[in-house]
Amino acid sequence: MMYWNSANFQGLREVGETYLRKPNYEAFANYCFLKEKGIKKAALGAMNEFISAAQEKPLKSQREIAVELASLGFENPHIHQLIPHPLQQYLITILKAWSTEENASAIPARWLGCMSGDLAEFERALEIDPTDAISLTMLVKAKLNTVDYQTHHLAEAQFIGEVEEGKVCLEEAALLIARLPSEAGKTNLLEELHTYRKLIAAWEEYTLACPDKSFPDWCKEKGENFAFWSIIYYDK
């Protein structure tokens, strides 16, 4: 049986092997190896060593490190221990100062959005470069995640918030998807968008019909096989 966190640990080991061969990233690689082995205190020491060494480098080099590691984190979301809090804060500091100094560049704003989770940074990046694929993708995912939250109790016939708000989110997501420069990057997002549109349409029909059966059972009878969340309640 696959251990639920195996992708994280395997990813740490693979990243460590790659970055051990990159000049000036040896302490970062050591962090990955130690974290993969569960040696937390030593891993934190290696990370602090990496950050201290990075802070001594010229500003241009620090910005290159920030882009390198922010991009690495973005491309490997399954390695959830890859960018620990001290490193995240260091990268945010570099990217925020860079974004302020060079406010005509979408690069620091985009990566600052990825590191901080601030959607306004993606919006600012798109004001500078309307074709920035990462910023577009992250904003689409944020819209779809909003609808996912609104609909995750539909198995219990509960829609969180207003249906119209969910529909607006989906239309905003559709407009953002249309702006993505690569067709390959649109496929999965369009499939998810289509599923949520169908789910909300089915919910509206269900609430008007007021049938004497659960929403999942009603959907199944209609031939709609949505993946409803499982709801588990615990007694204290």
**4 — pLDDT class (breaks 50, 70, 90):** low
- Residue with the two structure tokens 């007694």: 235
Q: Is the pLDDT of residue 18 over 50?
A: yes
List, for residues 150-163, the tens digit of each pLDDT value.
999 999 999 999 99
Q: Which of 211, 232, 235, 207 is nearest to 221 (CA)?
A: 211
Does this model's pTM top 0.75? yes
Q: Is the pLDDT of residue 235 over 50?
A: yes
Choose the weakest-confidence range: 91-95, 163-167, 222-226.
222-226
Give every CB contact of residue 201 below 8 A, 6+ residues apart in sequence: none
Contact 157, 214 (CB under 8 A): yes
pLDDT at 1: 37
Q: Is the pLDDT of residue 21 over 60?
A: yes
Read off the pLDDT of each residue in 38-66 and give the average, rounded to a whole number.
97
